[in-house]
Amino acid sequence: MGAGGDGMSVAAALRLARGAFTLDLDLAVTAGRTLALLGPNGAGKSTALGLLAGTIDLDSGSVVVNGRVLDDESTHVETEHRRIGVVFQDYLLFPHLSVLENVAFGPRSSGIPRAAARSQSVQWLDRLGIADLASTRPPQLSGGQAQRVALGRALASNPELLLLDEPLAALDVEVREEVRGELGRFIHDWGGPTIVVTHLFDDVVALADDVVVIERGRATQRATVRELVQAPATSYVSRLVASWSDD
Amino acid sequence: MMQASARRSSRRSFLSPALWIPAGLALALLGLPLMALVVRAPWAQLPELLRQPTVASALGLSLGTALLSTAISLVLGIPLALVLARSDQWPAVPRRLLRALVTVPLVLPPVVGGVALLLLLGRNGLIGQFLPFQLPFTTAAVVIAQVFVAMPFLVLAVDGALRASDRRFEVAAATLGASRFTVFRRITLPLVAPGVAAGALLCFCRALGEFGATITFAGSFPGVTQTLPIATYLQLQTDPDAAIALSLVLMVISATALVSLRDRWVPGVTA
């Protein structure tokens, strides 16, 4: 569970109290693996994501990425210095910038000259199979296209951790299966540590290696996907598994 | 059948005929004076009247100062609008005080604004007594008076646009490594550009029409502080035709601004 070892790794102990809600969650993920944070609405998934990305302040605990402390009692690294890429649920592509400018935004912000940032971004678009959309404005994109752009934008900023917030929730049910498969491949090709926040069991099966089930701010099960299917620890998970195997 | 009758009733006007009379009077009050101006304008002599030195210098001074006031309002007013839009987390007292300060010039009689400016920046004013130069009755005073009166229009327009825009775009930009200033320059500002443009236009029109604070704080020296509205007022005593010509010029500028506001920057519609 520690942050040491070879390759990229992430370890977080997230503690937060807001009124009646308390979050107490330990997370760990290493390069090349995808951790799913699975839980019902209101379980604290978005809060956990905000704590990792630095948009919410921890009460206590820590966030350590590749041995670099991003958050603990004495440190708070601002979001813009965390190098944590986020694919937001509704993508949040900048509507006034083209697809290429969206993807180039991260490299530009890190001081890479315009031309170099653009050619890097073209490569990302190529890799994601959407080079033909470079000059398109985000409002003209389909849901699946927008998700690829959002993924390209997050990865082009060269993050040390990738966070995906309900990556399939904004898509029509008919296209989810296809997009989910593509997303899994892209994440695998990228190869860095990834955390997927979701309430969809299909996402867990298709995208994740390991799962942390979160209910009411606490981890109720830690398992690989296979173990989770074979031995659900709570009624919430058994219901998800049952309805999943019905499909 | 139900649908048809529902549609008919929804289309029915519930406006009482009795209300048409005051509404019509109101419209007449707004429209007829402008019509009179157009009807009575000395169209034949217009080119000649507009070539008069007083007219030309007032027009140049007005356009120059109004543009400068708008530019100053943009530079100072956009940051103020940001502070105002993000003041929701503040305690109630400073938050309300801030909003009141921004709004006061909108409701304050401009003459009072002019007097207040004199008391602050005049020769014996709170700050003016320490200045090595004299500010009142200079072109700079014209600009200060215009900024005082017109900047709130810009601030409130930008504040409204900021409140309506999705702040999560700024979070997204931060996760991509953008510094706060980069976020402001490349995300926040472009997203509220329609609001900024509308605010700048309103601000310009208000600055162009400024009379009370200007004549109080800056006076009416031809070529120095005598702007179009002041020249119009003074010409009315001596040369009514020239005053009408000047009024027409101001009206055309305002109408142009109004049309560009309506066509391009209807609130809530972007791109």
Whether the predicted pLDDT of B67 surpasses 70 = yes
Is B125 among the domain residues?
no
Is B246 among the domain residues?
yes
Nearest to B177 among A53, A92, A109 (CB): A109
Whether the predicted pLDDT of B3 surpasses 80 = no
Both tokens of A52, joined, read 């990792």
Q: How far apart are CA A182 and CA A15, in angstroms?
A: 34
Is B82 among the domain residues?
yes
Cα end-to-end distance, chain B, whole Å? 41
Return the CATH number at B87.
1.10.3720.10
Both tokens of A213, joined, read 């089930």
Rounded to 5 degrees, what are φ and ψ at A117?
-60, -40
Coil/strand/helix, residue A95: coil
For the segment A113-138, what is each residue's pLDDT rounded down to a tens digit? Answer: 999 999 999 999 999 999 999 999 99
| Mean per-residue pLDDT over chain A, rounded | 92
pLDDT bracket for residue B88 (50, 70, 90): confident
Residues whose CB is less than 8 angstroms from the CB of residue B236 and which lie 6 or more positions away in sequence, other chains included: B243
Both tokens of A10, joined, read 């992430």
Chain B residues interacting with chain A (CB cutoff of 8 angstroms): 166, 168-169, 171-180, 182-183, 186-187, 190-191, 193, 270-271
Going along chain A from its start, the domains and CATH numbers come out as: 9-95+160-246 (3.40.50.300)
In 3D, which of A243, A94, A106, A91 has the Cα closest to residue A167? A91
Residues paired with residue A21 on neighbouring β-strands, in sequence order = A18
pLDDT, mean of residues A78-95: 95
Whether the predicted pLDDT of B15 surpasses 80 = no
The per-residue pLDDT for A247 is 65
- Number of domains forming the structure of chain B: 1
**Residues in chain A closer than 8 A to B179 (CB atoms):** 80, 109
Both tokens of B76, joined, read 């100072």
The per-residue pLDDT for B271 is 37
The per-residue pLDDT for B55 is 84
pLDDT bracket for residue B133 (50, 70, 90): very high
The per-residue pLDDT for B12 is 63
For the segment A24-49, what is each residue's pLDDT rounded down to a tens digit? Answer: 999 999 998 999 999 998 899 999 99
Q: How far apart are CA B172 and CA A236, in angstroms?
A: 32
What are the E-state strand segments in chain B?
none
Q: How far apart are CA A189 and CA A208, in angstroms?
A: 14
Whether the predicted pLDDT of A2 surpasses 70 = no
> Other CB atoms closer than 10 Å to residue A196's CB: what's the count?
27
CB-based contact (8 Å) between A138 and chain B?
no
ipTM over 0.85: yes
Q: Are B224 and B138 in contact (CB under 8 A)?
A: yes
Is B1 among the domain residues?
no
Domain containing B235: what range? 60-108+138-211+223-264
Q: How far apart are CA B197 and CA B157, in angstroms?
A: 9
Q: How far apart are CA A50 and CA A66, in angstroms?
A: 19
Selected for mutation to probe chain A from B176, B179, B192 (highest A CB count within 10 Å) is: B176
Is B38 among the domain residues?
no
Strand order in the sheet with A218-224: A68-71, A60-65, A9-18, A21-30, A218-224, A210-215, A34-38, A194-198, A161-165, A84-87
**Alpha helices, H only, A87-224:** 99-109, 114-127, 143-156, 173-190, 201-207
Whether the predicted pLDDT of B204 surpasses 80 = yes
Whether the predicted pLDDT of B170 surpasses 90 = yes
Whether the predicted pLDDT of A3 surpasses 50 = no
